[in-house]
A = this chain, B = another copy of it.
């Protein structure tokens, strides 16, 4: 045994009773130290009498050598070791031999001569490999064995990044005098009641709590209480039919301030984003993000969260199409429709087959057809060019800034249908052309949203954001005459086609609040039953206030380079809202149901 040195290093914060160092720590300065290490067997190699173990923990990998000449017993025991066994070893740090160092590892210059080995716990063979960086495993299996999926490293890294982001956010708001307040999870069913998760009360028979979809009313009450500056990393719940990449519970950065206007929120959030991007990615953003009114976003990109990493804006060409001889366009226009076109740079390279695929793509989105023209050295060509006179062609080329090698795509239908189909098509083509560059971060404020939109079924006004959003002052006078043209004092922050967050200046006058509720067709009884406490609160000197909320899962996903929010949530639900590991939701006992005064309705399918 070679205990040339006692462990004399200052105790590090990772040092514990069972280990002197973690596994990403030892280097040439530790040569001859006697160390105690713990971790998982990552790889094992037998080399003519010597056994090499790559021992792994959260912090790194350290190579162990078991040499029968140094300690026969440990060497014998090491022969039993298998992948993922959890062990503790003691031994001396030594330099690796010439040519045997590993530059990829922080500990690649050294190895540890193990002279004592203790098996802490054995492992069954994992259901998928934990050594390979890229594995092709069914997500359900990964979620069922989430603890092993995390051990693989990638999810673990993302959890650490997420922790770091949230820490930066909390430090940022603490420095600025914000108070984090925990608002209740057991609360009252909200306006959006139909999407509430509810919780039966045992003590109050036949009554229910609801889980919050957001702390909106609580944060407004905190402004009324004089807290001045509130934030919370808040868990929120929404029982939605799970569209792509939604979770029943999600985490929101929730912010509210008093005595402010939109400019104060924007100023502060830009500072926050600049700090997060700098500290997490080392990317320097410039203050003064671009702004775009909702109307412009819809006109040019067909959506309220445009990805600005690439152009391909929509151009309205109804006037040109109307003058053409192309009956498809003329019929649509006659029926009240519009025609929009996009110019795909270098798009002439797309084949006939590609363009047919685009047509199928927009068909699925409700657009019946896609017309196109290619720009060659000889000018425009396609089967419909003949319907456009020379001057009309020139006008088209000018308006869309068409160059040789470009492709023009036309959509003709109602404005809504064209916008939706072209929004998706634009992003689809950008994928094909590789225009969504990684590391290109295009932040955008979208504002001047309409306050109301028409409910698709009833045609009645519903809130675009929520009923507490203030109308723009200059549009107050349209509330009763031109309701769908009233703009709100709301703002969304968009990053590369994702909505990071959104907020608004709130209504702080109970009369205006009542007017909005009435315009939303709430009866006086509805107002009292659902918002009575809040309407009362507004009567006690409510300060002007506003705020914003961000999806933490979404931000973490984008910063960590993950493709789904499930990859930045430690224990996510599946797309069927189940926990694959725990098997939940699950049945509960009759006794429990009895105590809660409820029963399960007999199934009609039963």
Binding site for B on A (CB under 8 A): 13-14, 16-19, 22, 38, 40-41, 56-59, 84-86, 88, 120-124, 126, 146-148, 150-151, 156, 159-160, 163, 166-167, 170, 174-177, 179-189, 193-194, 196-211, 218, 221-222, 224-229, 235, 237, 239, 248-249, 251, 257-261, 263-264, 508-509, 532-533, 537, 539-544, 569-571, 573, 576-579, 581-589, 591-592, 594-601, 603
Contact = CB atoms under 8 A, between A and B. Distances in A.
A249 B586 contact: no
A581 B533 contact: yes
A96 B208 CA distance: 56
Contacts of A123: 539-541
A13 B209 contact: no
A261 B17 CA distance: 6
Given A17-B263, A199-B199, 14 more contacts: A18-B261, A18-B544, A56-B226, A86-B543, A148-B540, A167-B170, A167-B174, A186-B249, A189-B584, A201-B577, A202-B239, A207-B584, A222-B570, A533-B582
Contact of A584 (B38, B85, B187): B187
Chain B CB within 10 Å — which of A200, A248, A261, A597 has the most? A200
B186 A197 contact: yes
B600 A226 contact: no
A24 to B, nearest CB: 11
13 contacts: A14-B229, A16-B260, A126-B540, A150-B226, A151-B226, A186-B237, A189-B592, A199-B585, A201-B585, A204-B576, A207-B584, A207-B587, A599-B599
B539 A188 contact: no
B186 A573 contact: yes
A544 B120 contact: yes
A497 to B, nearest CB: 26
A480 B304 CA distance: 67
Nearest to A262: B17
Given A163-B180, A585-B204, A198 B596 contact: yes
A122 B583 CA distance: 54
A209 B599 CA distance: 15
A17 B261 CA distance: 6
A594 B14 CA distance: 53
A156 B587 contact: no
Contacts of A196: 592
B182 A225 contact: no
Given A201-B577, A261-B18, A542-B121, A177 B147 contact: no
A13 B544 CA distance: 18
Nearest to A570: B181
Contact of A540 (B147, B205, B570): B147
Contacts of A260: 16-18
A171 B195 CA distance: 36
Given A123-B541, A543-B86, A543-B121, A226 B156 contact: yes
Contact of A576 (B17, B59, B203, B583): B203
Contacts of A17: 259-261, 263-264
Contacts of A537: 147
Given A150-B227, A186-B249, A260-B17, A600 B603 contact: no
A600 B600 contact: no
A151 B121 contact: no
A571 B14 CA distance: 38
A585 B208 contact: yes
Given A13-B177, A40-B541, A584 B183 contact: no
A159 B179 contact: yes
A35 to B, nearest CB: 13
Given A185-B237, A222-B570, A598-B601, A179 B208 contact: no
A542 B124 CA distance: 11
Contacts of A583: 188, 532-533
Nearest to A36: B259
Contacts of A579: 184, 186-188
B198 A181 contact: no
A200 B203 contact: no
Nearest to A195: B202
A575 B248 CA distance: 30
Contacts of A204: 576-578, 585
CB-CB nearest 10 A-B residue pairs: A123-B541, A150-B225, A188-B584, A207-B585, A86-B541, A147-B225, A201-B585, A18-B259, A17-B261, A58-B228
A582 to B, nearest CB: 4
A541 B584 contact: no
Contacts of A248: 186
B193 A592 contact: yes
Contacts of A578: 204
A13 B176 contact: yes
B597 A185 contact: no
Contacts of A151: 224-226
A234 to B, nearest CB: 10
B121 A541 contact: yes
Contacts of A183: 570-571
A241 to B, nearest CB: 8
Contacts of A257: 16
A159 B205 contact: no
A240 B150 CA distance: 35
A588 B198 contact: yes
B592 A194 contact: yes
A122 B508 CA distance: 11
B146 A221 contact: yes
Contacts of A148: 225, 540
